[in-house]
């Protein structure tokens, strides 16, 4: 049975409106493939093969039962792969030094009176040390080995969520439903499903794809999951699921001749699967850049050489896996982020150097198959929100040469808006990853601080800096961010994992979920927005308020706006000077700053250490107040910018318009929030945008809400 859904996202070859349901206990289980993952639990040699840990527990009979689950699980796995639906594998085991192994788990059998167990975890068995990472027995059986792009969770406990990144992984991808297979049913499978239920996930166990070592436990374990109308989850079999999924289209590519030149990631991925060559794409990118240069000459500062780009494309063509997340995807890099072999200038000619090593994030993206096209213009040293503070020239709006592009990530945003690349890296310290997105009709994602490495990034405010992502669609922005996201031990501001309190059931947004939202009150909107923006935002609000399951709540907007003021009107400006102190004091290079950059940094000269601590205390006070507000509010929806200045206006007053632009954007950085800017109509041919904001680590929620808002906006002319 196939059911329709109005929201549209993409998972592999399956669109979001292709929802399916299948028979289950206690009633039919309905899934949206784009928000679903298959979780295959602990199908390891140690549990399934003779001589492993499971064999020691149960002997031949027990191993035979769990081995019988391989065949039906493989059939489900193949279906998920063919339909491009997310797959996750788990492996139970411990570090070689066993420091993550609780003593009761280690000794529970060995210390039992008259025990028959002579071996414990970590002892050497026929397949290596039992349940120890890196050993042959710890790995997944040959039939179910993961392929590129499938996530493997190494877990130390029975459940798959304890002391792992699984919850974060699901939240980031907007996954709300799990299909569960694996072993053992009485232990790790049902424990995982209970953990999932506590985290707001729906899960369905496939009974023929799971078993355990005690025959009488299976039916009781599964009955406990689905009793009382699905207290912990659902139970079904593989055949009803396979029949339902067979109605969906298989993931397949379009022929190379069908590619229309779009740089949209989904379009390119489909074309690549159909045989399109990365060489063809690189040539098209360079043609597009050259064709646009006369109209907007200040977008790019340095391009990779044509020979290097073609060599990279040919290398991918010959040796890379076309299922890599970003295979052959062209992207741009803001010129305060290092790319090996290309000059880094931060829009300051005297500062120029050629790094031998790329920034951590660039290396990650290239490993995912992406192709660096070159480096883009910016407000010098990422200080500004306008895009005019560059000695290489002002980068103007893609829609109007008299209007600012927004900054500081000006060139990156315009390169995406002109369709020259699929996505671009910016940085966001005060809104630089969102203001340019709004002015150029694209998406700008500012992720949670520390989730993407800043190693190899020239700092602006080191404690606030984030690498941001520009793309033409929400899906593309998410794809780029997920490929880049990883803890970097060399970055002191990198976060290895979210706090336990930050990810909860409100971190996911089911189709049926109610959620709370707040908008700036009318008096604030009227006093901050230009008349045209005020009128446009009112139209957007009426549509957002019409979304299903949305409850509007009050919010402490005065504290929020006070946090925005801190970034350019307090001692936080001194952090910019501190970040550049080594550069500015260098005797080897005499640095001449852009006059406006110099003027901004000069503001710090009158500030004392007392001022700095006072403003740090104030930022903490505001952060605490806003954290409490988010206890009742899931998201904020704001205009991304209050107006769209002309280049002439900024030339006449270089400071004033810049300060105004950050009124709704800059607080996101000070308060450690996450945000995404999306297009929301046009005003006399110029783009207008809104931002969706939430607490740290809630990217999954803001991206889902952004999808829902865009789906609703599509039906109205704004």
Whether residue 406 contacts residue 439, with contact meaning beta carbons closer than 8 Å, is answered with: yes
How many Å apart are CA 385 and CA 596, to the nearest integer?
A: 12
For residue 315, how many other CB atoms are within 10 A of its CB? Answer: 12
Q: DSSP assignment of 184-251, as one string?
A: -IIIIIHHHHHHHHHTT-EEEEEEEEEE-SSTTHHHHHHHHHHHHHHSS-EEE-HHHHHHHHTTSPPP
Strand pairing report for 10-11 and 14-15: antiparallel
CA separation (Å) from 63 to 29, 51, 53, 183, 468? Answer: 30, 10, 10, 11, 49
Q: Which among 112, 238, 139, 132 is positioned nearest to 179, based on CA atoms? A: 238
Whether residue 132 contacts residue 121, with contact meaning beta carbons closer than 8 Å, is answered with: yes
Please state whether the peptide bond connecting residue 184 to the residue before it is cis, i.e. omega within 30 degrees of 0: yes
Query: Can 479 be counted among the known catalytic residues?
Result: no
Query: What are the structure tokens assigned to 131, written together?
Result: 């349940």
- Which helix (H) or strand (E) is 702 found in, with range? helix 699-713
Question: Which member of 34, 160, 408, 691 is catalytic?
Answer: 408
Question: Which member of 34, 221, 412, 432 is catalytic?
Answer: 432
Return all residues near 678 (Cβ < 8 A) that are at least 6 apart.
437, 443, 474, 689, 690, 691, 692, 706, 709, 710
Whether residue 88 contacts residue 169, with contact meaning beta carbons closer than 8 Å, is answered with: yes
SS3 162: coil
How many Å apart are CA 640 and CA 433, to the nearest integer?
A: 11
**Alpha helices in 32-148, H assignment, sequence order:** 45-48, 53-67, 70-83, 103-107
Whether residue 302 contacts residue 372, with contact meaning beta carbons closer than 8 Å, is answered with: no
Query: Can 513 be counted among the known catalytic residues?
Result: no
Question: Which member of 158, 218, 269, 334 is catalytic?
Answer: 334
Query: How many H-runs (helices) and E-runs (strands) does the chain carry?
Result: 25, 24
Tokens 């899960």, residue located = 203
Query: Can 334 be counted among the known catalytic residues?
Result: yes
How many Å apart are CA 476 and CA 443, to the nearest integer?
A: 9
E-strand ranges in 108-201 read 124-125, 128-129, 151-155, 177-183
How many Å apart are CA 457 and CA 465, to the nearest integer?
A: 9
Sign (positive or negative) of CA dihedral 544, 549, 553, 556? negative
The single-letter DSSP state of residue 404 is: B
The single-letter DSSP state of residue 413 is: H
Active site residues: 334, 408, 432
């Amino acid at each position: 049975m196939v059911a329709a859904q109005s929201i549209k996202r993409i998972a592999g070859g399956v669109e979001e409106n292709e929802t399916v349901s299948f028979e289950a206990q206690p009633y039919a289980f309905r899934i949206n493939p784009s928000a679903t993952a298959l979780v295959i639990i602990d199908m390891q040699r140690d549990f399934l093969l003779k001589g492993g840990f499971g064999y020691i527990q149960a002997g031949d009979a027990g191993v035979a039962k769990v081995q019988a689950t391989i065949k039906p699980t493989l059939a489900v796995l193949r279906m998920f792969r063919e339909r491009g639906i997310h797959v996750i594998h788990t492996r139970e085991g411990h570090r070689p030094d066993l420091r993550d192994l609780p003593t009761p788990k280690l000794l529970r059998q060995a210390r039992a009176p008259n025990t028959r167990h002579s071996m414990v975890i970590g002892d050497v068995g026929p397949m290596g040390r039992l349940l120890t990472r890196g050993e042959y027995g710890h790995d997944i059986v040959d039939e179910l080995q993961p392929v590129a792009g499938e996530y493997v969770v190494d877990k130390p406990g029975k459940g798959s969520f304890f002391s792992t990144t699984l919850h974060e992984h699901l939240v980031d991808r907007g996954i709300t439903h799990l299909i569960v297979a694996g072993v053992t049913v009485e232990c790790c499978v049902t424990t995982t499903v209970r953990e999932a239920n506590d985290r707001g996930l729906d899960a369905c166990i496939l009974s023929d794809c799971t078993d355990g070592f005690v025959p009488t436990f299976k039916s009781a374990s599964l009955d406990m999951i689905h009793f009382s109308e699905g207290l912990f989850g659902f139970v079904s079999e593989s055949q009803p699921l396979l029949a339902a999924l067979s109605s969906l289209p298989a993931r397949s590519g379009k022929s190379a001749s069908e590619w229309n030149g779009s740089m949209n990631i989904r379009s390119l991925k489909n074309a690549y699967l159909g045989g399109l060559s990365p060489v063809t794409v690189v040539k098209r990118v360079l043609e597009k850049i050259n064709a646009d240069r006369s109209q907007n000459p200040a977008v790019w500062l340095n391009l990779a050489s044509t020979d290097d780009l073609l060599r990279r494309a040919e290398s991918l063509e010959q040796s890379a896996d076309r299922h890599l997340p970003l295979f052959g995807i062209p992207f741009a890099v803001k010129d305060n982020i290092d790319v090996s072999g290309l000059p880094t200038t931060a829009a300051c000619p005297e500062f120029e150097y050629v790094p031998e090593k790329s920034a951590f994030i660039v290396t990650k993206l290239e490993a995912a198959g992406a192709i660096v096209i070159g480096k883009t213009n910016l407000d010098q040293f990422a200080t500004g929100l306008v895009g005019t503070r560059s000695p290489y020239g002002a980068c103007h709006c893609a829609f109007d040469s008299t209007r600012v592009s927004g900054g500081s990530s000006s060139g990156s945003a315009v390169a995406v808006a002109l369709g020259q690349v699929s996505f671009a890296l910016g940085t966001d310290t005060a809104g630089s990853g969102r203001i340019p997105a709004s002015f150029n009709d694209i998406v700008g994602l500012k992720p949670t601080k520390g989730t993407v490495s800043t190693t190899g990034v020239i700092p602006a405010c080191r404690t606030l800096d984030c690498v941001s992502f520009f793309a033409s669609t929400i899906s593309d922005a998410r794809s780029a961010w997920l490929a880049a996201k990883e803890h970097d031990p060399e970055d002191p501001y990198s976060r290895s994992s979210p706090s336990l309190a930050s990810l909860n059931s409100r971190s996911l947004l089911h189709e049926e979920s109610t959620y709370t939202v707040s908008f700036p009150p009318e008096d604030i909107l009227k006093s901050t927005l230009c008349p045209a923006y005020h009128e446009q935002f009112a139209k957007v609000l009426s549509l957002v308020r019409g979304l299903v399951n949305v409850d509007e709540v009050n919010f402490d907007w005065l504290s929020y706006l006070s946090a925005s003021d801190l970034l350019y009107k307090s001692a936080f400006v001194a952090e910019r000077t501190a970040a550049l102190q080594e550069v500015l004091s260098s005797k080897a290079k005499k640095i001449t700053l852009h006059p406006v950059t110099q003027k901004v940094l000069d503001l710090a000269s009158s500030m004392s250490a007392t001022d700095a601590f006072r403003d740090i205390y104030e930022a903490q006070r505001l952060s605490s107040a806003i954290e409490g507000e988010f206890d009742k509010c899931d998201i904020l929806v704001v205009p991304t910018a209050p107006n769209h200045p002309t280049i002439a206006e900024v030339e006449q007053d270089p400071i004033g318009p810049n300060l105004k632009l950050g009124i709704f954007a800059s607080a996101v950085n000070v308060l450690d929030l996450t945000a995404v800017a999306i297009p929301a109509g046009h005003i006399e041919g110029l783009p207008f945008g809104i931002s969706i904001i939430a607490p740290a680590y809630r990217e999954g929620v803001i991206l889902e809400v952004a999808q829902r808002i865009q789906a609703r906006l599509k039906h109205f002319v704004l």
